[in-house]
Structure 1
């Protein structure tokens, strides 16, 4: 997609020192922490002291916020929302994202900043726009090593396995997309959000280029980056449209950007600020609370409605082995939303479950389909579904929640069903995105060559060869099985 507008000059007033530190008026000060011994799974990587010290010259700036005191519970767990000290950015390594980044404090105001051409890059998943796009879209998705994480000796199977899965899953996926109109609306909605963000920034006397980059379909992140380069953008804010951070969403997109910027002389020196998550922002929390509050009156007895948060799942191994903060951020996010609702006098019961699991591995529990059955068995009659991990309507909301889960809920004894819409271009949400961009701008710094965790070294050559040998046999079995041959034959025909 083309930039929303031509290159323009950023007014000096918007990059003054007043934006150097995030204003507390733009963030909730609370942070909901689990009352268990190890809420934080940060820094699961096994970096040596030298590795961490080497990161001091390599920087990506991330956004942060503070915390406050309260208690709540989510899905039977107890949480303590307690005050935190503000974290110093300088000299601190953040590992909670599964991708260690080094915080660097903003430098003094640069009088030349006002002359810069500034851009905002919105990142999202992407989706097939026609039924013919479904199989190649699925291939791009499953070819991503952050989606299917294979052990190093088996990484040569990544693309063949992606081809296998995409061919086998395409028929069912096409049925889903056909049921919502023949394609995903994600690109259209993201373009609308980009235009709305541009207008919100202009209302604040700031004129920026806004770009859209998708991870697995057009317009690809690579295409957006080339437009940024052609437009001679000199400072960039990267805004992933995923409220909570996960290795498989924000992490994957950031990895692509790091590679693209590292390999290009011009881009490698460009100051960049990455807003890693939105879930703590006051504007986001209040916008979600508004949507929930607006939907409750559709029920005959609003106070009896169970608020059912359904989040996109990730494999348990991402959280427990790779240090993905997604589950903790999701639970804290719901804690903050429920506190905002309680402050408005809304004290409905609520629960959280995870949807969209794929394959035989264990995903985050509880599962949405299983919880719906349990709630029906417990006598819950009214349910308001909240798609908490999505800011745009797409296949997981329009087909999976609105059709599959609604039908299951009604079959399980739930009589009254409602669903909160995705945020989309909700004015309060867009305004908060604009505030987030302005707050992040002064902190931008160049993305230097970034060395992630050192690759695993197999010190046993015989063991490595054995794994390769048996891995090759496994690949042959997969690709020459009757089911696979039939699937490819049908695909080619």
Structure 2
């Protein structure tokens, strides 16, 4: 009789340490006061990925012109945005931080950070370093990748951890526009308004970027034409911010059942005189008014938390522009904020990182 073949015991791997989860949004002033707004603008706009011109030019432009003159005007607008809970972007960020920590449990340490101002990325990573974490997952709160947003977060995180003697595994979430629960979150919000009113047109307004930043990202110089190149989403243009925005619209339109010709993808928040990606949201609004469109439902799918660009720019300023152009009914679809589907999206992103 042959001797039985003895199998070696199956080794069990014991998980040691915890995973740090750094949630990073763009940022907000600490208060709507002029000094705090000026401080925020200086840090934000001095980022070379935001205004990508030579340092000396950027320094004098920001500190000599934009921050001194724009801060008082921006402070007035921030006062419109502010509530008893402060900035909605930071308020919802704190809520999401707590809810995600509860769902993920004790094997994770979740921290909210802002790319600009507080709580800072430096403070969050310093705490992670002291905890001796097994690994770190960085989740920029930007559905579509752009150098000026997600890329800036990457750069800041890497600038900090490169000085550590011991660097744990660091994983970054690049984009999440295709995530089914992210899409479903906006779809559910949209359906609520579409069930209550028959809108003539739907606008999907995304944060804008200078065309030069899109062109610089096309390293093979074969994709960007600022026209038909964004009509489909494929391997050659998957890293293009504009193409990602158009793909986000296609996914939302598909699930909302919006017919062709009844919606427009456009871009807001221009700064300066150089060409930005088109079509511009304010131009689209004027054109809709001229065509006799009387009601519009407006989405802002590049933002996951309500902020100046959603509540004030899209919700108030564009509403006034639409009415001045002959429109009658303008409705903003709020951001995901603390929507349960947004929390579920984050859980999936963290666990699959």
- Same fold by TM (over 0.5)? yes
Q: Which residue of 1 aligns with 2:127?
A: 227
- Is 1:411 the equivalent of 2:327? no
Indicate the RMSD between aligned Cα atoms, in angstroms.
1.8
Paired residues of 2:27 and 2:114 also in contact (CA < 8 A): yes
Report matched runs for 1:202-351 at 5 Å.
Answer: 202=105, 207-267=107-167, 270-299=168-197, 302=198, 304-323=199-218, 325-342=240-257, 346-347=258-259, 349-351=262-264
Deviations 1:151-196 (Å, cap 9, x if unpaired)? Answer: xxx4234333321221121111111112223763211211111112
Deviations 1:392-423 (Å, cap 9, x if unpaired)? Answer: 01111121112111000111111111111100
The alpha-carbon deviation at position 341 of structure 1 amounts to 1.7
The alpha-carbon deviation at position 389 of structure 1 amounts to 0.6
Q: Which residue of 1 aligns with 2:40?
A: 137
Report matched runs for 1:63-102 at 5 Å.
Answer: none
Q: Which residue of 2 aligns with 1:383?
A: 296
Paired residues of 1:341 and 1:347 also in contact (CA < 8 A): no
The alpha-carbon deviation at position 428 of structure 1 amounts to 1.3
The alpha-carbon deviation at position 347 of structure 1 amounts to 3.8
Task: State the secondary structure of the residue aligned to 2:184.
Answer: helix
- Is 1:111 the equivalent of 2:13? yes
- Is 1:423 the equivalent of 2:336? yes
In structure 1, what is the Cα distance between the partners aligned to 2:319 and 2:217?
33
TM-score (norm 1): 0.62
The alpha-carbon deviation at position 266 of structure 1 amounts to 1.9
TM-score (norm 2): 0.86
Structure 1 residues not aligned, in runs of 5+: 1-108, 441-493
The alpha-carbon deviation at position 331 of structure 1 amounts to 0.7
- The aligned length equals 317
- Is 1:394 the equivalent of 2:297? no
- Is 1:194 the equivalent of 2:107? no
Paired residues of 1:184 and 1:394 also in contact (CA < 8 A): yes
The alpha-carbon deviation at position 110 of structure 1 amounts to 8.5
In structure 2, what is the Cα distance between the partners aligned to 1:259 and 1:399?
34
Deviations 1:216-235 (Å, cap 9, x if unpaired)? Answer: 11111111111111122121
In structure 1, what is the Cα distance between the partners aligned to 2:183 and 2:88?
24
Q: Which residue of 1 aligns with 2:236?
A: none
In structure 2, what is the Cα distance between the partners aligned to 1:432 and 1:207?
18
Paired residues of 2:94 and 2:112 also in contact (CA < 8 A): yes
The alpha-carbon deviation at position 277 of structure 1 amounts to 0.6
Paired residues of 2:18 and 2:107 also in contact (CA < 8 A): no
Deviations 1:338-368 (Å, cap 9, x if unpaired)? Answer: 11222xxx54721111111001111111111
Q: With CA pairs under 8 Å and 6+ residues apart, which has the higher RCO, 1 or 2?
A: 1
Structure 2 residues not aligned, in runs of 5+: 1-10, 219-238
